[in-house]
Amino acid sequence: VTETCKSITPENHLAHCLDRCRQNNLRRTRVLNWLLREMIAAINPLTLTQLQERAEAGGLDCDPATLYRQIMKLEGIGLVRRLGFHQRSNYFKLLLPGQHQDYLICDQCGAVQVIDIECPVHDLEDEVVEKSGFTGVHHELEFFGVCPDCQQAEKSIAAR
Ligand SMILES: [Zn+2]
Ligand SMILES: [Zn+2]
């Protein structure tokens, strides 16, 4: 864990997100607050359905359309990114400073997981900075495959 990683807490992230919302004149609603906290706490990107389920479980009285509109507003100000790896599922993630993620994506169902291994390309990033003169260099890696759920489904079809 580096110094920069240690200094960023969920509260810092929330403050950063709320600042961005304020700068862009997004009204600080109950839904906005909930959404930001939930997405900061989530490790993996979430679908609208997953967010809706979490909202219901958490007792937030909010219909899917309102939730969707709120996410679109966050996407509009560049705070949320849509990961549209697959037609059937859109995943949403917050873009947070100092945070980078690499992904594993299922070819069949479009499920997205954050890869839990040490990122292999940070040295490369330093080299890119040095050689290109770019600042704010960042990256995301995407690995594709078939998830365990889909493998299981294939097996049970084959066994029939
Ligand atoms: Zn799958
Ligand atoms: Zn990486």
Query: Along the 160 residues of the chain, how does pLDDT read in single tens digits?
Result: 344 444 568 888 999 999 999 999 999 999 999 999 999 999 889 999 999 999 999 899 889 999 999 999 999 999 998 887 666 678 999 988 777 889 999 988 888 888 988 888 888 988 999 999 998 888 888 899 999 999 999 888 888 7
Of the bound ligands, which one is closest to the alpha carbon of residue 137? 2
Mapping DSSP onto H, E and C, the string for 8-63 reads: CCHHHHHHHHHHHHHHCCCCCCHHHHHHHHHHHHCCCCEEHHHHHHHHHHCCCCCC
* 158 Cα–ligand 2 center, Å: 36
* 77 Cα–ligand 1 center, Å: 31
Q: Counting beta carbons within 10 angstroms of the beta carbon of residue 30, is it exposed (0 to 12), middle (13 to 18) or buried (19 or more)? A: exposed
* 100 Cα–ligand 2 center, Å: 6
Q: How far apart are the first and last CA of the chain?
A: 49
* 35 Cα–ligand 1 center, Å: 26
Helix (H, G, I), strand (E, B) or coil at 3: helix
pTM summary value = 0.78
